[in-house]
Amino acid sequence: MMMTTVRMVQSTIAAMPTAREMKEKFRASREAISADTMSPRAKAVRTCGGRVEEGRLELCCLASTPQPPLSAPPKAQDSQGVRKTSGSMLGPGPGLLPAGLLLLLPFLTLLLPAAPAPHRASYKPVIVVHGLFDSSYSFRHLLEYINETHPGTVVTVLDLFDGRESLRPLWEQVQGFGEAVAPIMAKAPQGVHLICYSQGGLVCRALLSVMDEHNVDSFISLSSPQMGQYGDYLKWLFPTSMRSNLYRICYSPWGQEFSICNYWHDPHHDDLYLNASSFLALINGERDHPNATAWRKNFLRVGRLVLIGGPDDGVITPWQSSFFGFYDENETVLEMEEQLVYLRDSFGLKTLLARGAIVRCPMAGISHTAWHSNRTLYETCIEPWLS
């Protein structure tokens, strides 16, 4: 049965007219048939610049140079002025195609190359990591801005360690966030962008250090205490301790069970900080550990480090910590290039700056809780790096 059908198709194709003959017959039939009297099937086939198009394929649009329209021959009319046609395209008539050929015409279009799909911009996925006592809801404005400026971008705000859970030790959070971002990265071979706010910026920097195969293009650190925190904003948690005495709590094994103590950096007790800090001193490479070389290599896989902060933040102390600046023992702020972690290039800052991969974007007039909802800040410091 199959062989019989194949032979029938082969014999039908063999009987088909040549391309020149088809062209001449189409020209003749185009002008001989009035649009009002076409059958429904005949109306599905029309001419365009002397070429045939079928349905939505619009084959005539594949021609690089449109053909000039043919001049229509005079129409025969009867005594009442009604136009006469020589027949339907599906019926007999002089110079018309056989019905069998018309039935095969749609299949012939399959032999033509498909038209290329229109080019559409593709943006890398964006992963957002929140800060202390935050949740995904805090970033609804940021999501709106990204959707407006980069439509189609896949944005994931990780809903982990929300609220009080954000007080969990940072290494525990690094593990949890790492398990969440790994499959997102695996599905994005072209790379991803990280936007990490406040405490979340430290979580993300640790992720870049411990993940061997991360593919982060832009790491956007949004008002994050990258060199630590030394301010009075912890009064609500430790009301009986001033910042000058808080080291007694934070530099104890009990204190290191709180995330905020993991990056408490007292410039007057540097030795205690180096010995007791179980997180910041390690990711800064300020204390020797067996993974230091591997972590530095991993961190340097990042394509770009964008640092954002400002003098009116009101929480990050000193605010220059968002740019890897910090106090000396006299509480004089030393900029990034004066810090030992930079001079020693202990985790890769100096190398990143040398290759032009560090962007600093300070902005005044923005309080700590408004960084992710300020439209001007987004357009100036974030949007340009979401490729």
What are the residue numbers of the active site?
198, 313, 368
Give Cβ neighbours of residue 100 (< 8 Å, ≥ 6 apart).
12
Amino acid identity, position 356: G
Between CA 342 and CA 350 the distance in angstroms is 5
Give Cβ neighbours of residue 122 (< 8 Å, ≥ 6 apart).
152, 190
- Cis geometry, peptide bond prior to residue 74 (ω within 30 degrees of 0): no
Three-state DSSP state, 108: helix
Are 366 and 322 within 8 A, CB to CB? Answer: no
Three-state DSSP state, 220: strand
- Rounded to the nearest 10 degrees, the angle between the axes of helix 2-14 and helix 99-108 is 100
Place of tokens 């030795």: 271
Rounded to whole angstroms, the maximal C-alpha distance in the chain is 113
Give how far the C-alpha of residue 111 lies from the chain's centroid of Cα atoms, to the nearest Å. Answer: 37
Give Cβ neighbours of residue 301 (< 8 Å, ≥ 6 apart).
208, 214, 215, 216
HSE (CB half, 13 Å, CA atoms) of 38? 15
